[in-house]
Amino acid sequence: MSLPSDHIDSTRPAPRLPAGQVTLGFRGWVRWFWRQLTSMHTAIFLLLLLAVAALPGSLIPQREADPNGVVQYQAAHPALTPILEKLQFFDVYTSVWFSAIYILLFISLIGCIIPRVKHHIDALRARPPRTPARLDRMPGYRTESIPAASLRGSQGAGDAIESATEVLRHAGYRTQFYADKHSISVSGERGYLRETGNLVFHIAIMAVLVAVGVGGGYGYSGEKIVMQGQTFVNTLVSYDSFNPGRFFTGERLSPYSLTLKDLAVRYETKNKAAIGQPLDYTAYVTARKPDGSQKADTVKVNTPLYIGGTNVYLLGNGYAPVITVRDPAGHVRYRQPVPFLPQDNNYTSIGVVKIADGLPAQVGIIGSFYPTAGASGGVPVSTFPGLRDPVLSLDVFKGDLGINDGVPRSVYTLDTNAMTQVSGPGVQQPAEQLRVGQTVKLPDGLGSVTFDGVKRYVSFTISHNPAQLWIFICSVFLVGGLLTALLVPRRRMWVKARQQRDGSVLLEYAGLARGDDPGLLAAVESITAAHRTALSGPAGPEPPAGPGGTRPAQPAPAPEVVGEES
Amino acid sequence: MTAFLSQLSVIVLYASLAVYAAAFISFAMDVAGRAVKVRAASDVTSAVARRAESALAREAGAAGQAGSGHLATMTKTANEVHEHITDVNFSRSQTVGMALTVVALAFELVADVLRGIAAGRVPWSDMYEFSMTGTVLITIVFLIMAKRYNLRFLGVFITGLVLVLMGISVTRYYVAVVPLPPALQSYWLVIHVLVAMGATGFFALGFALSVAQLMQARRETQIREKMPVTLRFLETLPGSNVLENLAYRVNITGFILWTFTLIAGAIWAEKAWGNYWGWDTKEVWTFIIWVLYAGFIHARATRGWRGSRSAWLAIVGFGAVMFNFGIVNVFFHGLHSYSGL
Ligand code: HEM
């Protein structure tokens, strides 16, 4: 077994159930099935199926890439949702059917590759096959004749073939000498690298996927919001969210730490079409390794920081207004920077403050923050992402925060079911508007709120992938294999010499492409020319065959298949 | 300065499109003229060609079952047939079309470079710029390949495609020059996007060749079955086997570049987002295209798939490329939302 039997160059018959044969036996069936699975038809079918199966994931939001999109989609299509859920259309790329297709493809690939590797190793050791009896049927066929007059000394057919062998070897052919009753010949073959490249390519595909799987299994990624001045220590508990791989064990975390000194942000201010567009984010950090060494460094978009076996990415940022809440007696009950989530490109942001103890009632505040306060159609919005005129607006609720039952709640949402609004839209008391340094008294004698200032925060994504280097190496093999497989021509070349009755020697040349080979005809031509030179070179000043002596067997083929230049 | 240069760029672009339109008309006249010439050509020569063609077709059928030796013979026969029919292969309007295409390209290249200078960066970071640089590359690929393989007859398709793409782009996608957002500030923008557009250039040409191949195969069938022959101008073009070989060569070049695009994209995603592959919509489509063309390459090497069936795969592949470019970029949401619209 070598190429799949339905490969266009295969000499094996296609697998077919023998007509009339009803019982094939278990082993027969297994063998038949295996041949089907590893056939080229199946590979095409599975490849096309894979392409089609990948489609829905681009039309329907996917839980992994876009969880919010999934929620919105499900809300908009309540009737469709249960069916799509059942069919795993929100998790296409981990679904049973998608996995089934690529697993089948891999089995097919392995089944296809193993025999080809064996066959190729044999081919690498084998000699080029026997020269065809009739070369004139082969592409690029041409002849030359060495007149008897220029055959001096022992120079006959044998010598000509010897020098042809030399020429072929020189051009990278592996050669074999053959002789029959009428002629002697050399058969050459080159381009074994083509098949090597093909096999390397297919193996590399699998290797990449294995490496990706291993990397995902043993790696992890997590997210952490770090405020200006805060320090993040790389331990499990300090992550806001953490996604371990299936085989991940906690010991792999290297306990380095990062302190965010500053986040420098530049916005476009001149180009009218892009006012406020971010030009640069740079997080200045102090990185401390577990061994105590310490170093100032930066993290930028597109330039992650490599530390302790992890990459630290700067994927988000925002504002954290510093908010102080005092009880009616003036004692500070709450003071901290609160990370607000940006809602638009100008960083109109929303955040939540929850004060469970110390005030006359539990208080929840939904804050809106405008780094540059303005309005659009009567609705307050931020008009520039930088801090030109920061305003904090607060809707205040009192009642039950719903956090006493021990169920963890998001710090970014306020459950107002058991609360009453005391200020903001919908109640008489308007939202509290604050500029930096200002304080307002809360309604109902709840206390007061002060807007002390604004800090920036960054959202770091930290990931560890133990297979990163392997994935890269495999990809290099993949591309290299593909290039050799598609660009190295595999071809055979023959030179045959025949002693003519008149004492002259007739030389025949021809080649054969194995696979796509645009340069075959030119190659036959150049071998012919090189051989002519070799024959005439050391033999004497007189070329054995001048232009008159050369007789191309057919009109000289154009170098390219389609033809000629104007 | 930015405003001035970008306006200048638009003016030069309009000039370029006018020249492309003239080139398109020239190429179209060439195709129309071929139909006339074929009809006028003496019955004797066309009968000779047809006999050879049907011999070729018979042989092509035989080669389906036989080994590679026959394949080679097939190509040879195709060559010979082609030599019979080259006498109507050159027309003045085609030469004019080629010259106009070169001029149009020169203008478009200037427009593209001006846009880049105006922006102070590479001119491929929004839909308008993708279209402009992309069509520049499509034309460059066409001119180079046309020179190597005498593919001038595809000029009508290529200039038509450029006109349609740029027409849509100018009217719908135009945006003022804006600076690069931090996510795009990477040398991978230069490599990944440029290579992707280069691949698109090869796929476009491969598509045109596959379409021509199918038309030619249909004509060859008509001749073989002694049916009335339509689209007579095809007689002046290479046979379907020659077209198929060329389509394959052009498409595998595109495929190599696309493979590189895919890998470079994954490396960039890893650098920018911390994840090689997140099945973002754009990644999904890059993958679909890659798999479709892998299917095409296999089909070419598979009995029963070589020929028209594999050509259809290349056509579907290019359909996906255009969809990815024109629809996914503009209407689908994802991390790759860089259309600027
Ligand atoms: C993971 C799925 C696969 C992908 C992405 C893929 C891709 C490719 C590509 C790009 C080529 C052309 C480059 C070259 O010649 O090396 C190729 C060739 C080839 N593949 Fe695959 N392949 C896959 C699976 C398979 C399977 C399952 C088989 C077995 C039936 C197979 C058999 C072959 C053969 C025989 C060739 C040589 C074609 C020729 O002679 O031109 N491949 N493949």
Collect all residues of chain A within an 8 Å Cβ-Cβ radius of residue B177: 271, 273
Query: Rounded to the nearest whole angstrom, what is the distance from the C-alpha of residue A328 to the centroid of ligand 1?
Result: 76
The answer for residues whose C-beta is within 8 angstroms of residue B32's C-beta and 6 or more apart is B233
Using the Cβ of A313 and the Cβ atoms of chain B, whether some distance falls under 8 Å is answered with yes
More confident residue, B223 or B252: B252
Is residue B143 over pLDDT 70? yes
| Chain segment A32-54, per-residue pLDDT in tens | 888 888 889 999 999 999 999 99
Whether residue B318 contacts residue B289, with contact meaning beta carbons closer than 8 Å, is answered with no
A208 lines ligand 1 (CB under 6 A): no
Contact B303 A55 (CB under 8 A): no
| Chain segment A246-299, per-residue pLDDT in tens | 888 877 788 999 999 999 999 998 888 888 889 999 999 999 998 889 999 999
**CA distances from residue B66 to A11, A396, A410, B201 in whole angstroms, order as listed:** 8, 84, 70, 35
Mean pLDDT along residues B280-307: 93
A105 lines ligand 1 (CB under 6 A): yes
ipTM value? 0.85
Q: Say what the pLDDT of residue B78 is.
A: 39
Is residue B50 over pLDDT 90? no
Collect all residues of chain B within an 8 Å Cβ-Cβ radius of residue A479: 256, 259-260, 263
Number of H helices, E strands in chain B: 12, 0
Chain B residue with minimum CA distance to A216: B275
What count of CB pairs under 8 Å joins A to B?
Answer: 201
**CA distances from residue A513 to A317, A523, B96, B226, B303 in whole angstroms, order as listed:** 59, 10, 37, 33, 18
Q: Say what the pLDDT of residue A155 is.
A: 62
Is residue B67 over pLDDT 50? no
Query: Rounded to the nearest whole angstrom, what is the distance from the C-alpha of residue A102 to the centroid of ligand 1?
Result: 14
A43 lines ligand 1 (CB under 6 A): yes
Sorting pLDDT into bands at 50, 70 and 90, what band is A512? very high
A333 lines ligand 1 (CB under 6 A): no
Mean pLDDT along residues A537-565: 40
Which residues are registered as beta bridge partners of A495? Answer: A186, A509
Number of H helices, E strands in chain A: 10, 25
Q: Say what the pLDDT of residue B81 is.
A: 38
The answer for residues whose C-beta is within 8 angstroms of residue A228's C-beta and 6 or more apart is A260, A261, A262, A263, A320, A337, A455, A456, A457
Supply φ then ψ for residue A334, to 5 degrees.
Answer: -160, 130
Sorting pLDDT into bands at 50, 70 and 90, what band is B273? confident
Residue A450 CA, chain-centre distance (Å), reads 49
- What percent of chain B is modeled with pLDDT above 70? 82
Rounded Cα distance between B221 and A464, Å, is: 59
Per-position DSSP letters for A32-80, written without gaps between them: HHHHHHTSHHHHHHHHHHHHHHHTHHHHS--TTT-HHHHHHHHHH-TTT
Rounded Cα distance between A16 and B164, Å, is: 49
Collect all residues of chain A within an 8 Å Cβ-Cβ radius of residue B83: 555, 563
Mean pLDDT along residues A172-176: 93
Contact B288 A47 (CB under 8 A): no
Rounded Cα distance between A363 and A397, Å, is: 6
Q: Say what the pLDDT of residue B86 is.
A: 45
Whether residue B166 contacts residue B13, with contact meaning beta carbons closer than 8 Å, is answered with yes
Rounded Cα distance between B79 and B241, Å, is: 9
pTM: 0.86
Sorting pLDDT into bands at 50, 70 and 90, what band is A21? low
Which residues are registered as beta bridge partners of A288? Answer: A257, A294
Sorting pLDDT into bands at 50, 70 and 90, what band is A15? low
B147 lines ligand 1 (CB under 6 A): no
Measured over the CA atoms of residue B264, residue B270, residue B276 and residue B280, the dihedral's sign is: negative
Whether residue A114 contacts residue A522, with contact meaning beta carbons closer than 8 Å, is answered with no
Q: What's the mean pLDDT when you consider all of chain A?
A: 86
Contact B302 A6 (CB under 8 A): yes
Q: Which of B68, B257, B297, B313 to mutate to test the pocket of ligand 1 (most atoms within 8 A of CB)?
A: B297
Which residues are registered as beta bridge partners of A35? Answer: none
Rounded Cα distance between A268 and A385, Å, is: 10
| Chain segment A400-411, per-residue pLDDT in tens | 887 777 666 777
Residue B250 CA, chain-centre distance (Å), reads 9
| Chain segment B117-142, per-residue pLDDT in tens | 999 999 999 999 999 999 999 999 99
Is residue B337 over pLDDT 70? no
Collect all residues of chain A within an 8 Å Cβ-Cβ radius of residue B246: 561-562
Q: Say what the pLDDT of residue A432 is.
A: 76
| Chain segment A194-244, per-residue pLDDT in tens | 999 999 999 999 999 999 999 889 999 999 999 999 999 999 889 998 988
Is residue A71 over pLDDT 60? yes
How near does any CA of chain A get to the CA of B260, in Å? 7
Which residues are registered as beta bridge partners of A296? Answer: A286
Which residues are registered as beta bridge partners of A326? Answer: A332, A448
Is residue A152 over pLDDT 70? no
Mean pLDDT along residues B75-97: 58
Whose tokens are 């809300």? That residue is A75
Contact B274 A461 (CB under 8 A): yes
Residue type at A381 in one-letter notation? V
More confident residue, A76 or A539: A76
How near does any CA of chain A get to the CA of B158, in Å? 19
